[in-house]
Every structure is written in structure tokens, then in C-alpha cells.
Amino acid sequence: MKICLVTPAGKQSRVGNRTTANRWAKILKGLGHRVSVVKGYDGSNADLMIAIHAWRSFESIRNFSDKFPERPLVVLLAGTDIYSFQHTHPVETIESMNRATVLVSLHNLVHKAIPTKFSDKINVIYQSALPLIKPKNPTKRYFDICVVGHLRDEKDSLRAAYAARKLPPKSRLRIIHLGKAHNQKWFRLAREEELKNHRFKWRGEVAGWEVRQQYSKSRALVISSVMEGGANVVSEALAAGLPVIASKIDGNIGLLGEKYSGYYPVQDTKALTHLLLKAETDPIFLTILESQCRAKKILFYPERERGSWKMLLDNLNY
């Protein structure tokens, strides 16, 4: 089958949409299909379109659907589609959902947030990640916590840094942040935070192997987002054997489960400080998080993601 895979992110981008597109293209090619990854649909012939992002890929979705109304169209609902754009840009976002044959979601609570009439279209596909090649080797001098993701409003990106400020002087904890600033405002905020917060280190955008290296050196990962569609950094952390401290939002609960012990109320700096200190000083708490993360690890195996795609395509009668 010839598949057109549309992503709003360019070839050189390291944002999540492009990472997802590249991984899916590899999976689909492994299943025997021909895949072209493009930023926008150019009208060429394709048996199937997979579009990442309902709102940002709206024109491609509309054009493909108009040209080939009988052909299957799969749309990935990004976090901003689910929790923002369906309200701020409803015409395009809802129209994309209407035109889709299947709506792919990356966590299992998306049905709570979108119109009920689309519930039957949802197909949950968890994003996979590979384990570390070598055993973890955390830094001993410091108790490093990593944050991985570009600095932007939706990620509440400096919340872990703010929480680390409140730790007692004897704490060895540091926040190591990997990811580029989304704009000049975030660049300035990150640089200012580095200057006045000795517990915060911002390394900017780095290669994938450097992210994995940081996982190996860290004791836990913080994901502080105010909205998420199902972050791949969670699956990467679990595959690396790294426990997660997460904001209590559906996008994280839909991956880690309702009973996970590592949640804090979104944007609650004091509560996050408490969890960071508990992770550093209470080995039993950290062991509980590690155990709970291990139990979820199976969701993010590459073979499971591959199987999910095979089943989805089989159900489309191909």
C-alpha cells in the first residue's frame, strides 16, 4: 500500500511530531508498505493518508478527503488538538475529526475530552521506546532529575526548576533540562533561571543519543505539562528504567494509570518540591515508583506498537 504520512514538522526538526512520524514510517515500511513523509499533501496518489495533528494538518486532511473520499484517512489527535484547538479552532479541528476514518490517540483517556460522537473512531496506539544499551549509571555526586522537552507554555517547562529552588541546602538534587526554547521569552526565562538557581542546568537541544545518556545518569524524570496527548518521553523513561514524577493530567494518567504514586497537582510548585525531596530522601518511595513503572513498561514495547499498527490497517480491510 502507498501511504502518505503528513506531519507539520520539517525534516530537521526534533519536535515530537517529527519523531513520531519517523518512527511510524519505519514501522509501516517494516510491514511492507511504501511510505512518504511530507509536511503537506501535494495531491499525489496514495491508498491511505495518516495525518499527524488534526488542526495543523487540516488542509492536507481536507484535500486528501475531497480527492479520495472513499479511501481511509487516519488522524492522530495531538495534545493541543484535544485540550486546546478543538475549542479555540473548532471549525478545522472538528472537521478533521469528522473526515477521519480512524482517530489515533496516544493515551487511553482521550475519549473523555472529545465529542462523544467520535468515541467509536478512537484507536489507542502507545508510543514505543527502546531500552538503554548499557545498565543505568546514575551520577553519585548529585541526585540528578531530568526534564526532556522543548521549553513552551504547554509543558510548564520550568516548574521542576522552580520546585528545586525550595529544597533544603543539604539536598544534592539538580534539574537537568534538555530541549530548545520555543521562543525568545522561553530562552530568556531559562537563561535567567540558570543564573539564579544553582540546581538548574539547561543544556538546550541535543541529539537523541545525548538524551539517552542523560536518562542513564538520572534518578527520575519530571514531566510537568499542563496538557499532553501522550508524551513519548514517558515511554522513553520507562524503557530506560527511569521512574517518572508527573503532573496529574489525563495525558499522563492515561499512560501511567490512575493509581500511580508519582503525581502532583498541575503547576503546584510546593507539591512538586515535596515529591522531589521524597524521591531523594526516601528509597522506599523511589522503589515504589520504579516498580509501578516496570509494570507499565509492557505498553511501550516496539513490538506492541508494531502490532497495533498492523491491526489498525487490517481492520481497514487492507
Query: Poorest-confidence range of 3-17, 32-46, 206-220?
Result: 3-17
pLDDT for res 19: 84
Over residues 191-216, mean pLDDT = 96
Spatial distance between the Cα atoms of 148 and 232, rounded to a whole number of angstroms: 10
Model confidence at 287, pLDDT cuts 50, 70, 90, reads: very high
Query: Do 309 and 283 fall into the same domain?
Result: no
* 138 located within any domain: no
For the segment 267-291, the average pLDDT, to the nearest whole number, is 98
What are the pLDDT digits (tens) for 218-258? 999 999 999 999 999 999 999 999 999 999 999 999 999 99
Q: Residue 18's pLDDT is what?
A: 78
Q: Are residues 35 and 106 in the same domain?
A: yes
pLDDT of residue 10: 55
Within a 10 A sphere around the Cβ of 205, how many other Cβ atoms?
A: 14
pLDDT of residue 8: 85
- Alpha carbon separation from 169 to 172, 199, 204 (Å, rounded): 8, 10, 26
Q: Judge whether residue 12 has pLDDT over 60.
A: no
Rounded to whole angstroms, the Cα distance separating 208 from 212 reads: 6
Is 131 inside a domain boundary?
A: no
What residues contact residue 64 under an 8 Å CB cut-off, 6+ apart? 4, 41, 46, 49, 51, 71, 73
* Tens of pLDDT, residues 73-126: 999 999 999 999 999 999 999 999 999 999 999 999 999 999 999 999 999 999
Distance of CA 164 to the CA centre of its chain: 23
Average pLDDT, the chain: 95
Same domain, 211 and 308: no
239 shares its domain with 115: no
Please give the DSSP secondary-structure letter assigned to residue 46: -
Instruction: Give burial (CB, 10 Å; 0-12/13-18/19+) of 189.
Output: middle
pLDDT value, residue 228: 95
The boundaries of the domain holding residue 262 are 143-300
Do 90 and 160 lie in one domain? The reply is no
What domain count does the chain have? Answer: 2
Same domain for 114 and 161, yes or no, is: no
Residues 84, 204 share a domain: no
Evaluate whether residue 260 is within a structural domain: yes
Helices H, strands E: what count in the chain? 13, 12
Domain assignment present for 137: no
* pLDDT, tens digit (0-9, with 9 covering 90-100), for 47-73: 999 999 999 999 999 999 999 999 999
Q: Is the pLDDT of residue 189 over 60?
A: yes
Whether residues 155 and 242 fall in one domain: yes
Please check whether residues 197 and 288 belong to one and the same domain. Answer: yes
Which segments of the chain does DSSP mark as H helices, in order? 16-30, 58-67, 79-80, 86-88, 90-99, 159-165, 184-196, 208-217, 232-239, 250-256, 269-281, 283-296, 302-315
pLDDT at residue 152, as a whole number: 95
Q: How far apart are CA 50 and CA 61, in angstroms?
A: 9
Angle at 142 between CA 140 and CA 144, to 5 degrees: 105
Q: What is the CATH number of the domain that holds 289?
A: 3.40.50.2000
Please report which confidence band the pLDDT of residue 9 belongs to, taking 50, 70 and 90 as the band edges.
low
pTM across the whole model: 0.93
Q: Are both 10 and 114 inside the same structural domain?
A: yes
User: Does residue 148 belong to any structural domain of this protein?
Assistant: yes
134 located within any domain: no
106 shares its domain with 158: no
Same domain, 248 and 110: no
Strand partners, 52: 76
